[in-house]
Each structure stands twice: as structure tokens, then as C-alpha cells.
Structure 1
Amino acid sequence: MTNMTFSIPDEIHKKMKEHPEIKWSQIARSALIKYIENLELAEEIVSKSTLKIEDVEEIGAEIKRKAWELHKKRMEDLR
């Protein structure tokens, strides 16, 4: 198994020291494994997708437009 070293903020380290019963290396290892699994799943989904970048941009623009319309309506309803 490979060792990995990384920095964490001092505040997080202080909080971790309050719980010496927790195996923090296992928590980090589990989080990394889960992140990689999610990344691989996303890559698999994307590899099978027929959407083009233009399609994604169009869908995103439509979502933003509808969200803005909903926000405006709710603001008007509050008046």
C-alpha cells in the first residue's frame, strides 16, 4: 500500500485531536475510495452519453431561465 501525506488546516487538526478514538487515516482512505468510485461512475455515464457540449449548455441556459422566472414570480407574490 502506498503512503500519502497532505496538509490540513490547524483548526481541523485541533478538532481531530479531540477524538483520538477515531482512525482518521481510515476515514481519509474511505473518502478517497468513495470519491474515486463516484468519479469512475461519472466517467462511465459520460462515455455512454450522446449529449454534446452544445446540448448541455442549452439545457443549462433553460434551467437558469426557468429558475429566474420562478424567482421573479415568487418575489412578485411577496409584494
Structure 2
Amino acid sequence: MPTITVSVDDDLKERMEKHPEINWSEVTRQAIREKVENLELLDQLTADSELTESGVEEIAAKINQSARKRVDEETR
């Protein structure tokens, strides 16, 4: 499995360290997986669409917001 490095600021790192029971690598994997799946879905939905670039960006922002909310709920 390839490895990536994720940088977070000191404050976030300290906050994460307060929750050693959380597998942060798995949280990151899930977030990336969801993002890629959402982008693939967006690509499928917009393949034959006449949406403008700004319309696509608006939909993507809503999907991202929804995905972040789900990840936050799953990691609680």
C-alpha cells in the first residue's frame, strides 16, 4: 500500500492527541475514499450535463460539506 504524509498544524495535532483511541490514519483513508467516490459520482452526473463550471463547483462544495459531516459523525 502506498504511503502519503498529511501535515496538520500544531493545534490540530494537540487536539488529535487527546483522542488516542481514534485511528487517525483510518479516518484519513475514509475521508479520501469518500472524496474520490463523490468526485467520481459528480463526474458521472455531469458527463453529459450543460452545467457551468460554477454550477459544478457549487455541487462539489455541497457534497464535500456532507462528506465532512459524515466523517465527523463517524469519528465521534
TM-score range, shorter chain: 0.5 to 0.7
Q: Secondary structure at the match of 1:48?
A: coil
Cα distance in 2 between the residues matched to 1:6 and 1:23: 14
**In the alignment, residue 16 of structure 1 is paired with which amino acid?**
M
* Structure 2: 5+ residue stretches without partners: 56-76
Taking a change above 3 Å as real, the CA distance of residues 52 and 34 of structure 1, as seen in their structure-2 partners, is closer
Higher helix share: 1
Cα distance in 1 between the residues matched to 2:48 and 2:14: 45
Partner of 1:48: 48
Bigger-Rg structure (1/2) = 1
Cα distance in 2 between the residues matched to 1:21 and 1:52: 43
Partner of 2:21: 21
Counting matched residue pairs gives 53
Partner of 1:8: 8
Partner of 2:31: 31
**In the alignment, residue 9 of structure 2 is paired with which amino acid?**
P
**In the alignment, residue 22 of structure 1 is paired with which amino acid?**
I
Q: Relative contact order (alpha carbons < 8 A, sep ≥ 6): 1 or 2 greater?
A: 2
Cα-Cα RMSD: 1.3
Cα distance in 2 between the residues matched to 1:24 and 1:2: 17
Superposed CA deviations along residues 33-59 of structure 1, whole A, max 9, x for unmatched, are 00000000011111021x153xx6xxx
* Structure 1: 5+ residue stretches without partners: 57-79
Percent sequence identity over aligned pairs:
36
**In the alignment, residue 22 of structure 2 is paired with which amino acid?**
I
